[in-house]
């Protein structure tokens, strides 16, 4: 016959055993879930963090395969390119799993593909950047051919000087902010011979420089809608009406060379991209996202030819120690931020 103490001890042990079983079941379930989500065989597509966030908002519960209209909220060039690369893989015959991973900014995204932390870029990149690292990356079929990449001169929406620009000479009196690792943008701006051109490492800082009146404009693809308004971090920007600039080079998806050598990924992707190009899907995506904007068709084009640019005219590599620093081309003259009174 058990004493009261023995009975209480047995009850306690039973409760502890039951709790252990429950914890074990939960732990095993969680491990199984994590393993299922982290499929090691999935194709890893890397996308800049802010683009990935807007892509999820753009989908709004849809899947990439069901997208036939590329317009609407959160649509922009980078976002629709995530749809295009996945649709191209599907059209080309890819049957494996696909996972999207965040990759910081443009430079970090390229690095991840280069070192094998990702298999393919989810946004198009310049051919010259791929060729510079040709030992580790190869380029897909172009999605934006040479001569088709046009950008606007975006200023703060409430900057009255935006509507006072009537010539290239007026543009050349303003300050710009960009990223020197974005070589086509930087080259085009350098050859404008501006009062000042400031390098900052991230897109967010470019916008902040505009908001703080440390720069007058930045280059950005045209946005969907009649006004072509660009909003970033709560900052509203609009293009200078009547002017656009051509950036030299073609854009492609970057593919890790090790993956390309061991699979038929390049052939699959290129087959799908060509199919999307032939049926008009690529052009439709860029038009509906605002990148190929009909409203700017007759705007004055400040072209690559005018400044002697070419797809092989590659700017010198930026010293790694400078990539994350902010500097101005006019620092040497003590004119970091020239007088903003332009007109």
What backbone torsions phi and psi does residue 166 show, to the nearest 5 degrees? -125, 0
The average confidence (pLDDT) of the chain is: 82
pLDDT digits (tens, 9 = 90+) for 133-172: 989 999 999 999 998 999 999 999 999 999 999 999 999 9
Closest CA to 177 of 329, 44, 1: 329
Q: Which of 39-43, 143-147, 283-287 has the lowest average pLDDT? A: 39-43
The band of 22, judged by pLDDT with boundaries at 50, 70 and 90, is: very low
What backbone torsions phi and psi does residue 42 show, to the nearest 5 degrees? -70, 145
The pLDDT value given to residue 90: 97
Residue 49 corresponds to which tokens in the numbers above? 């963090």
pLDDT digits (tens, 9 = 90+) for 87-122: 999 999 999 999 999 988 888 999 999 999 999 999
The band of 67, judged by pLDDT with boundaries at 50, 70 and 90, is: very high
- What average pLDDT does range 80-91 have in this prediction? 98
Q: Which has the higher per-residue pLDDT, 55 or 203? A: 55
The pLDDT value given to residue 25: 37
The pLDDT value given to residue 233: 87
Helix (H) or strand (E) holding 324: none
* DSSP string for residues in 249-265: S-EE-EEEHHHHHHSSH
pLDDT reading at 14 higher than 70: no
Closest CA to 111 of 85, 79, 137: 137
Cα 43 from chain centroid?
Answer: 19
Q: What is the dihedral of CA 291, 293, 298, 304, to 10 degrees?
A: 10
Q: Whole-prediction pTM value?
A: 0.74
pLDDT reading at 80 higher than 50: yes
The band of 181, judged by pLDDT with boundaries at 50, 70 and 90, is: confident
Helix ranges (DSSP H) in 133-264: 168-171, 183-190, 203-211, 257-262
Sequence-distant (6+) residues with CB within 8 A of 110 are: 121, 125, 129, 133, 137, 254
The pLDDT value given to residue 326: 52
Delineate the domains of the chain, giving CATH numbers in brackets: 43-146+250-279 (3.40.190.10), 150-246+295-333 (3.40.190.10)
Q: What percent of the chain has pLDDT over 90?
A: 67
Q: For the chain, give the number of residues.
A: 343
């Amino acid at each position: 016959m058990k004493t009261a103490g023995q009975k209480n001890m047995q009850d306690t042990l039973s409760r502890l055993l039951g709790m252990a079983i429950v914890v074990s079941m939960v732990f095993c379930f969680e491990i199984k879930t994590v393993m299922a989500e982290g499929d090691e065989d999935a194709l890893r597509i890397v996308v800049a963090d802010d683009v990935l966030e807007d892509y999820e908002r753009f989908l709004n519960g849809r899947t990439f395969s069901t997208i036939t209209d590329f317009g609407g909220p959160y649509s922009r060039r980078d976002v629709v390119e995530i749809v295009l690369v996945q649709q191209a893989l599907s059209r080309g015959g890819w049957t494996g799993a696909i996972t999207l991973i965040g990759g910081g900014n443009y430079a970090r995204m390229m690095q991840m593909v280069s070192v094998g932390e990702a298999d393919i870029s989810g946004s198009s990149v310049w051919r010259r950047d791929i060729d510079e690292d040709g030992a580790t990356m190869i380029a897909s079929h172009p999605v934006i051919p040479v001569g088709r990449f046009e950008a606007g001169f975006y200023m703060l929406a409430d900057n009255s000087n935006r509507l006072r620009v009537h010539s290239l000479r007026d543009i050349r009196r303003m300050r710009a902010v960009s990223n020197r690792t974005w070589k086509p943008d930087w080259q085009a701006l350098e050859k404008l011979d501006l009062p000042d051109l400031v390098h900052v490492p991230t897109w967010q800082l470019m916008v902040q420089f505009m908001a703080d009146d440390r720069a007058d404009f930045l280059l950005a693809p045209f946005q969907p809608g009649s006004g072509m308004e660009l909003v970033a971090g709560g900052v509203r920007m609009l293009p200078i009406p009547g002017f656009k600039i051509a950036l030299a080079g073609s854009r492609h998806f970057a593919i890790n060379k090790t993956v390309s050598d061991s699979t038929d990924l390049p052939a699959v992707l290129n087959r799908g991209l060509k199919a999307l190009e032939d049926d008009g899907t690529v052009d439709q995506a860029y038009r509906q996202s605002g990148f190929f904007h009909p409203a700017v068709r007759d705007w004055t084009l400040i072209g690559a030819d005018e400044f002697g640019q070419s797809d092989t005219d590659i700017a010198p590599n930026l010293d790694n120690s400078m990539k994350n620093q902010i500097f101005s081309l006019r620092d040497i003259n003590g004119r970091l931020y020239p007088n903003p009174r332009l007109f």
